C-alpha cells in the first residue's frame, strides 16, 4: 500500500491519501511550506496493511532522519 502524506518536521503525519494507480481522480493533500510541512509518497509496512487510513496515521510516523522519508512505528 502506498500513501501520499503531508508531515511536519517531527515526522507527525498531518494528512494522507492512498495512491491508487489508474485512478481517475488523484486527490492529494498539499503541504503548507510556510509552516515547514513536507509531502512524500511512502509505502506502508506490510504489518500495518490491515488498518484503515486513520489507524495507519495514528500508529506510524515519518522517519525524517532517513535519506528518504519512510514510515516507522511511533516511539
**pLDDT (tens digit, 9 = 90+) per residue, 4-18?**
999 999 999 999 999
- Please state the rounded mean pLDDT for residues 21-36: 85
The Cα 37–Cα 7 span in angstroms is 6
Can you read off the three cell numbers belonging to residue 19?
495512491
Mean pLDDT (whole number) for 46-74: 94
d(CA 72, CA 37): 18
Distance (Å, rounded) from C-alpha 36 to C-alpha 21?
28
Amino acid at each position: 500500500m502506498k500513501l501520499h502524506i503531508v508531515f511536519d518536521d517531527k515526522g507527525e503525519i498531518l494528512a494522507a491519501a492512498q495512491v491508487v494507480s489508474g485512478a481517475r481522480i488523484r486527490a492529494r493533500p498539499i503541504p503548507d511550506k510556510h509552516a515547514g510541512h513536507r509531502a512524500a509518497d511512502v509505502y506502508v509496512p506490510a504489518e500495518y496493511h490491515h488498518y484503515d487510513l486513520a489507524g495507519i496515521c495514528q500508529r506510524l510516523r515519518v522517519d525524517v532522519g532517513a535519506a528518504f522519508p519512510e514510515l516507522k512505528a511511533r516511539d
